[in-house]
Amino acid sequence: GSEPYTWTIEDDGGTGFTIDNLGVLTGSAPSQPGTYAITISVTGKKGATARTTFALEVSAESGIKIITTALTAAVDGLDYIDLVEASGGVLPYTWAVVDDGGTGLTIDNEGFLTGVAPVAGNYGITLLVTDASDKTAQQSFILSVTGDTDTTQPLSIATTSLPPADEGEAYSAILEANGGQGEYMWTLVDDGGTGLDLRDDGILSGTGPAEGDYAITVSVTDDTRTVTSALSLAVNPDPSPLTITTTSLPGATEDVRYAAVLEATGGTENYTWKLVNGGSSGLTLTTAGVLSGTPTNAGTFGITFQVNDGESTVEGSLTVTVSAAAAIPALTITTQTLPAASGPSYAAVLAASGGVEPYVWSMPDDGGTGLTLSTSGALTGTTPASGIYTLLVMVSDNNGDTDQSALSLTVP
């Protein structure tokens, strides 16, 4: 025949059973054991009818029975959970789904029927419970599934990965969710052996466990449902402790510019240096660890300094030896005589030694020659008339020291 079908109990055989248009026969088993004849007919859309008679065997009560009479309605596409209960018999019970009616729902041994509700409609589900003495009870239910009228986005966990942690260091991460309705309530399903805690507001915190990769399972619940997600956490090895590696300083020289770089390892490597005590060395220390300056006194000086990596501070002490500045030879004009003149033009270069360069030359007295002396020591000009001339020249150095000399020039 053609759907839809219409089912009818023509004779319930005294059982009191009823049948709905899905063909589900329901009712309470007769209180008396025996055989009951039940006649059922079904009529198709075009009026064709078929009937048959069944024999129902009712045995003496086993002692265990399912006491749940109806299932809670479900909503299309949402997580579903309902508790089916039994009584009598010998505990513990074992539950099974004999026929899920195409819903895909499952039941655990506590009697929780769970899964994701199928599309809207009515579904016949048959459940079986067995007690510890292998006595059983079976019952069929109708699960009514309505369409989901909620237009909000479904609840989901937006956090897909966790920031890495450092072994032995404080750790914190904020988990986030999207969609759903109402406030979120977070739960740590499995900490994966990390020992971390998860607050209701989604803050995951604690101390980083041993180096390795961990799987953490979390769930979030809103007003209507719960979703679960597994997140991976990578834990970096415990960083080596902050240590100053500079064990000695190069020597310095009095009145000479000095620089040395202090170095460290370990920690977070975000180092900031500080001079605690420079003694009377005259040196300073930058935050980058550059020790510099111009020592003004010879001697050995103790220097105390610190380095901080943002989490810990280490202090160190070293000595720097400042040598006395080398004695500077006196400034001396080394040109003793001037070369004799020849030709119409004259040129000679004067020389000096000692002192601190650069030198600056001058000529307080040209001896009547008319010659000129540049600051670099070049004596030039037109050769004067024949004769012997005495020129007074002077040189000064960068320290302001001077020397002068009378030089003889012979013009043939």
Kindly state whether residue 77 falls inside one of the protein's structural domains: yes
Strand residues in 185-289 grouped as ranges (E): 185-190, 197-198, 203-207, 212-221, 226-236, 243-244, 252-253, 258-261, 264-265, 272-277, 284-285
Region label for 10, one of left (φ > 0), alpha (ψ between -120 and 50) or beta (otherwise): alpha
Residue 151 lies in a domain: no
* 365 lies in some domain: yes
Q: Is residue 378 part of a domain?
A: yes
Amino acid at the residue 299 = G
If asked whether residues 247 and 232 sit together in one domain, one would say: no
State the maximum Cα–Cα separation within the chain, in Å, rounded to a whole number. Answer: 165
- Shared domain for 92 and 26, answered yes or no, is no
Distances (CA, A) of 203 to 33, 160, 199: 61, 15, 5
Q: Which of 357, 338, 116, 97 is nearest to 227 (CA)?
A: 116
Q: Are 253 and 290 part of one and the same domain?
A: yes
Q: What is the pLDDT of residue 30?
A: 76
The dihedral region occupied by 27, where left means phi > 0, alpha psi between -120 and 50, and beta the remainder, is left
Task: Say what the pLDDT of residue 168 is.
Answer: 87
Q: What is the pLDDT of residue 326?
A: 79
d(CA 155, CA 68): 30
Give the residue from 90, 115, 146 where a domain finishes.
146
Task: Kindly report the number of other CB atoms within 10 A of residue 318's CB atom.
Answer: 17
Verify that 355 and 403 share a domain, yes or no: yes
Do the Cβ atoms of 265 and 243 come closer than 8 Å? Answer: yes
Q: How many domains does the chain have?
A: 5
Say whether 267 sits in a helix, a strand or coil: coil
| 1 contact partners, CB below 8 Å, separation of at least 6 | 42, 43, 44, 45, 46, 48, 50
Tell me, what CATH number does 313's domain have? 2.60.40.10
Same domain flag for 294 and 280: yes
| C-alpha to C-alpha distance for 234 and 37, rounded to whole angstroms | 68
Each residue's pLDDT expressed in tens, for the chain with a length of 412 residues: 677 888 899 999 888 899 988 888 888 777 677 789 999 998 888 888 889 998 887 665 558 999 999 999 999 889 999 999 999 999 999 999 999 999 999 999 999 999 999 999 999 999 999 999 999 999 999 999 998 655 568 899 999 999 999 888 899 999 999 988 889 999 999 999 999 999 999 999 999 999 999 999 999 999 889 999 999 999 998 778 899 999 999 999 988 899 999 999 988 778 999 999 987 788 999 999 999 999 988 999 999 999 999 888 999 999 999 998 878 899 999 999 999 998 899 999 999 999 989 999 999 999 999 999 999 999 999 999 999 999 999 999 998 999 999 999 999 8
Instruction: Please write down the long-range contacts of 17-26, taking CB distance under 8 Å and 24 or more positions apart.
Output: 20/142, 22/122, 22/124, 22/142, 24/124, 24/140, 24/142, 25/140, 26/140
Q: Would you say 251 and 322 are in contact if contact means Cβ atoms under 8 Å apart?
A: yes
**3-state class (DSSP) for residue 277:** strand
Domain that holds residue 384: 332-411
The Cα–Cα gap between 184 and 202 comes to: 8
For residue 1, tell me if it sits in a domain.
Answer: no
Asked if 249 and 269 sit in the same domain, the reply is yes
Q: Is residue 114 part of a domain?
A: yes
Angle subtended at Cα 366 by Cα 362 and Cα 368, rounded to the nearest 5 degrees: 165
pLDDT of residue 241: 86
Is residue 331 exposed (0-12), middle (13-18) or buried (19+ Cβ within 10 Å)? buried
In a domain, 140, yes or no: yes
Number of H helices, E strands in the chain: 0, 40
Residue 341: strand, helix, or coil: coil
* Residues 341 and 404 placed together within one structural domain of the fold: yes
Q: Are residues 375 and 315 in the same domain?
A: no
**Judgement on whether residues 341 and 302 belong to the same structural domain of the protein:** no
> H or E segment at 348?
strand 345-349
Domain for residue 85, yes or no?
yes
Q: Are residues 136 and 165 in the same domain?
A: no
Q: Report the distance separating Cα 205 and Cα 407, nearest Å.
A: 90
Domain C-terminal end among 116, 146, 176: 146
**11 strand-pairing partners:** 39
Give the start-end residues of each E strand in 20-162: 25-26, 34-43, 49-58, 64-66, 74-75, 79-83, 86-88, 94-99, 106-107, 112-116, 121-130, 136-146, 156-157
